[in-house]
Structure 1
Amino acid sequence: MRFKNRFQRFMNHRAPANGRYKPTCYEHAANCYTHAVSDVFKKKFSSGTHTHTTDIEICVHVEYKLVQKAKFSFPPTRTVEHCFHMCDRMVIYFFIAASYAPWLNLRELGPLASHMRWFIWLMAAGGTIYVFLYHEKYKVVELFFYLTMGFSPALVVTSMNNTDGLHELACGGLIYCLGVVFFKSDGIIPFAHAIWHLFVATAAAVHYYAIWKYLYRSPTDFMRHL
């Protein structure tokens, strides 16, 4: 019982059905520090990748990080906190769309699959509207939308004639999915949100590596560096 009480001080109670989770001071600090892990990587990757499609992914990922930083850095007033939490959930949809954008735009797709190039952004816009109207009201529905958007483009990507890099893309997607367990475990697992950040950083690193190796670099450049 004493061990349980010591463990509990690092974790707040489970969030209500229609409200957001409020981290303890320990969890809040961990949430801030874990952003540094992905920030270092993004700066290194951004300095070496310069195509329009990859720039889109970088910009959306940077926007996601800025919203996350603002959410954890600004004074936790009720209005400001709610606003940034909504923005955080909205940007996740565009984060998913941007992860697929390089593959959908830089690889040849069939006539029935090419629509996914713009449809992922339409899904992201629809998710944004949903969060604006029903934020924190139907959490299971919101999770379902995230997973649907994450898996739907995968059906198109796997049908491409050139499948180089899809193994890394799938590995990154699996890491994201494993991270969802922690994303939904606030109030159950201590530092769950910080752990979720680490899963996101790792999955993004795998995806960035695949883009750099298979989409950005030419086969000649790759052989030169072997």
Structure 2
Amino acid sequence: MELRPSYHFPFLPISILFAIVCIFVPNVYSTDPPKKADENYRFHFALSYYQLGFLAILVIVGVLRMVTEIKKDEGRERLIRCRNRLTAILVFVFLYILMEVFMTFWFPPDSQIKCYLSQCGQFILTLLASLYLIGILMTCAIFYNWLIIPTIVIDGTMCYLLNMYAAPEYEEVYRCWMITFSVCLLDLWYIWSRGLLDSPFYSLPKMYERGEIDYLPTIPRPLFT
């Protein structure tokens, strides 16, 4: 029988949250005065109207898929399927981030090709997030250990170096991509070394429905039985 570490609070796969943030990274070139009054800023990037559509898809499709996923009760088979899907999507996130970083060096900031490629990558990520990631986020959990601490330290150090050496116009997006890349790599190691867990919000109601437990934390336990 497989033994899993016990936990008392849901540890959501934080890589999913950062992957969703990448959908809304500004990608439209603009020469309007930036918010930061700094003479080093020659240009900046703004949100596009397409990203409003991405938000609508994420909310509408994501909620429908989340309800469908919560109703499933397939035990370990569901966790294995979620692990494989999450792995494939995280690999896509890696490739997407590498593409974005590469384009900041290869294409000029006002390149239309760069803008279109970014929007295509964000659209694909929106579909993957709404169809699969939202459901996994609401029904699965990861047991994080001490490795999260050096990850935070490394990310903090890299953010400091970016603040010193990176082009100011790209500093914020570099920071977002770097943290997302490291967190996704960490989660990828966790789900293959420790596996995914059922989130308490998902597993406790299922256990109550099957009669494996006689009360839920949200339902007062009877004083006398």
Judge same fold: TM > 0.5, yes or no: no
TM, length-normalised to structure 2: 0.31
The structure that is strand-richer by fraction is 2
Pair member with larger Rg? 2
Q: Which has the higher contact order (CA 8 A, sep 6+)?
A: 2
